[in-house]
Amino acid sequence: MRRYDLHCHSTYSDGLLSPSAVVERAAARGVDVLALTDHDELSGIAEAQAAARGTSLTLVPAAEVSVTWEDHTIHVVALRIDPGNTLLADGLEQIRAGRDARARRIAQALEAVGIRGAFQGALRYVTSERLISRTHFARFLVEEGIASDVKDVFKRYLSPGKPGYVAHAWAQMGDALSWIRAAGGQPVLAHPGRYKLTQTALKRLIAEFHMHGGIGIEVLSSAHTAAQVAEFAGVARAFGLRASCGSDYHGPGESRLDLGDLPPLPAGLTPIWDDW
């Protein structure tokens, strides 16, 4: 059986490894099909594709798109997109454009609780001048000894309701999905277990996602417990969504699952790759 990992990050967003290092690591770990899904960014795909040439690994051009739905931040993995599509590239550029001002607001919010120099500090962890993320702040706060690891920073400072969290408007669901579909991509709802949604809100989200052309849902993800895997397998069956799987790997020491560390999909699901 082929081994799929359809969610991971490189230095073109908030990962720690370059696209070629990600591809080499995935190939060495037995991954057959890998999607590089940098946040709101396509620039790493060319390097990943070049690294995959001459190996047995198939690289799927992809991205993870930040969306605001109601008052929640939702991530949509866009698989098999055409990286040359200008509608998608322009849309992602719009999303990224808001990140600098947001980072300054995060730094101000942290300053208000006595953490100084976070903007400059986060910048030292930024690996692409095109994109600053909360993860870069998290790495700085760990360096400062304010928290023990990145997860701890999110729990105490960077999640909704915590002192360093600032609200932000990402793309609208309809816009994001229209860009993805224009680029020939398959929209997949990323790590649904991460969102703090009631059952009725989850149903509304999936209905809207489906209405705009969303076709898949991540069932296997490092963000999911065993109970959530079962829950979202049920959701996939009930709503006729195809199932996807991804480690959401960000780099050595930061991720619960390494590249390709995924069990087979639960029975009775149609994999997103069924017609690839």
The residue ranges that bind ligand AMP (CB under 6 A) are 14, 39, 66, 133-135, 150-151, 154, 250
CA–CA–CA angle 246, 192, 177 (5° rounding): 85
Nearer to ligand AMP, 106 or 205 (CB): 106
Nearer to Mn ion, 38 or 47 (CB): 38
Nearer to ligand AMP, 150 or 262 (CB): 150
β-pair partners for 8: 249
Q: Which range, of 14-22, 54-62, 227-235, 236-244, touches Mn ion by CB under 5 A?
A: 14-22
Q: Across 202-257, where does the E strand assignment appear?
A: 216-221, 242-246
- Find the shortest distance in angstroms from Cβ 149 to ligand AMP: 9
Cα 140 to Cα 103, 117, 158, distances in angstroms: 13, 10, 12
- Find the shortest distance in angstroms from Cβ 39 to Mn ion: 6
Amino acid at the residue 68? T
- From the list ligand AMP, Mn ion, none, partner contacted by residue 25 (C-beta under 5 to 8 A by kind): none
By CB under 5 A, is residue 254 in contact with Mn ion? no
Of 64, 86, 60, nearest to 171 (Cα)?
64
Restricting to residues 71-90, name those near Mn ion by CB under 5 A. 75
By CB under 5 A, is residue 218 in contact with Mn ion? no
By CB under 5 A, is residue 248 in contact with Mn ion? yes
Nearer to Mn ion, 138 or 241 (CB): 138
67: Cβ contacts below 8 Å, ≥ 6 apart: 73, 74, 75, 76, 170, 171, 172, 173, 176
CA dist 235 and 71 (Å) reads 22
